[in-house]
Amino acid sequence: MDQQNQTENNVIGGEEINVSAASEQTSTGEQITHESTLYPEPVFHFSNFTITNSLLNSWVVVLLIILLSVIIKKKIKTIPRGIQNYAEMILESALNLADSVTGDRKKTMKIFPIAFAIFIFILLNNWLGIFPGIGSIGFVEHQGGEAIFVPFFRGSTADLNTTLGLALFAVIGSNLFGVVTIGFWKYFNKFINLKAFLEIPKKIKKEPTIIFVNPIKAFVGIIEIIGEVAKVASLSFRLFGNIFAGEVLLAAMAVIFAFVLPIPFMFLELIVGIIQALIFAMLTLVYFSIAATSEEH
């Protein structure tokens, strides 16, 4: 038992164990294994509530965002200086990019805070997942006579639960935004186009072709419902697949040669993290912008 505790303390304290590899032998002769899994690993339990390493990572990111927000708020000056100048330049460029999607600064100001917050959250999660040393902090648990290393932190965007939650937030949020912006009846008719059928008796004398055109409009609305479900799958699997594949790639490179070889791939994953966060945020912006447009337009 003492030997087991000593092994666990050595791992937590930073003993050289390559957790990327399939297995590693400690100085005590114990074989410790760790593999990249598709599912997050539990690290704490509160009654029936399980806290996984990806959830813990998300909480750390949220805490970082809150702290940064408080610090930035205190340091904002009416006349910008230093870093604030660059921050305002980046923010203005982001607003202009959002304007190119929405076509209206007023609409942008309604949607941008949500899209930008999603971008920051995903970006920090992407980067924290590949931050050197984060994945080597953890503990060893014994299952069936086998010692398994469990890291305390795992990039939460490499967990399908997180990306699915973000995708549901983006899609459901865009639909609610559409209802609030253009009204329930108009938005409802985007999907179940009762208005198209109600127009047939009124316009059939002037436009006989309406009897063929409007049922097609109603059918297109049903396709839109399928499209909303597809958005959830597309957003969640794209982000999860890219980030998880990147972490597996870095782990594989570390197994081959742990000192120099992973560095170029780490820089590549930093860029991928920015791109994936930007894609998710831009698609969210597009979905909100489309939802705020009437069916006629």
In angstroms, rounded to a whole number, what is the distance separating the alpha carbons of residues 54 and 292?
34
In angstroms, rounded to a whole number, what is the distance separating the alpha carbons of residues 164 and 54?
13
In angstroms, rounded to a whole number, what is the distance separating the alpha carbons of residues 268 and 252?
15
With a cut of 50, say whether residue 17 has pLDDT above it: no
* Cβ pair 11, 246 in contact under 8 A: no
Chain Cα centroid distance, residue 118? 7
Residue 74 identity (one-letter amino acid) = K
Domain membership of residue 216 (yes or no) is: yes
Burial class (CB in 10 A: 0-12, 13-18, 19+), 73: exposed
Counting the structural domains of the chain, the total is 1
SS3 266: helix
Residue 222, CA atoms < 13 Å, CB-side half-sphere: 7
Residue 181 identity (one-letter amino acid) = T
Domain membership of residue 228 (yes or no) is: yes
pLDDT at 7: 39
Give the other-Cβ count within 10 Å of 167's Cβ. Answer: 24
Q: What is the mean pLDDT of residues 192-219?
A: 71
Domain membership of residue 94 (yes or no) is: yes
CA dihedral 163, 168, 169, 172 (to 10 degrees): 160
18 backbone dihedrals φ, ψ, rounded to 5°: -85, 95
Domain membership of residue 109 (yes or no) is: yes
pLDDT tens, position by position, 122-157: 999 988 877 766 656 655 665 665 666 667 777 788
Domain membership of residue 251 (yes or no) is: yes
Domain that holds residue 218: 80-135+151-291
With a cut of 50, say whether residue 6 has pLDDT above it: no
pLDDT tens, position by position, 73-88: 888 887 777 788 888 8
Domain membership of residue 197 (yes or no) is: yes
